[in-house]
Amino acid sequence: MSSYPDPAELLAHRSPFLFCDEIVELEPGVSCTALWHLSGDESFFAGHFPGRPTLPGVLMVEALAQTAGLAALSDGDFSGKLPLFGGIDKARFRRQVLPGETLTLVAQLGRMSRMAGRASGIASVGGEVACEADMMFVIAEASDL
């Protein structure tokens, strides 16, 4: 049993849009490594693509953003806040991710302020890079939404 919090304890996301199943490493305010276990039963596989199911790249980037959110929100300075996407840079897709695979998500926070932040992330399967991206986000009050 992991000594790290359940991702749903930190993120506002819920099924079917919570992509981090478990945290395997966490340095609050610095970095996070999470796993997304793809069973193949996820609804997007049915239409992306029939006969050749593939995880959509945009969902890999979202999963990386959620992982960065876990790193930020685990820091007490950001508890009760909601990181929202502000931008995506240098996104590259290197490998297809298929049903039944586990995506390892690693996010490293960059410059952070009270109102915004930066992060970089790498998603991989079995040590093979599937996606990498730099991300920017704004920090909102969760109660404002």
Q: Which helix (DSSP H) or strand (DSSP E) does residue 90 occupy? A: strand 81-93
How many beta carbons lie within 10 A of that of residue 124, not counting itself?
18
5, 30, 35, 48: the catalytic one is: 48
Whole-Å CA distances, 22 to 36, 48, 70, 100? 7, 25, 11, 16
Q: Is 48 a catalytic residue?
A: yes
Residues marked active site are found at 48
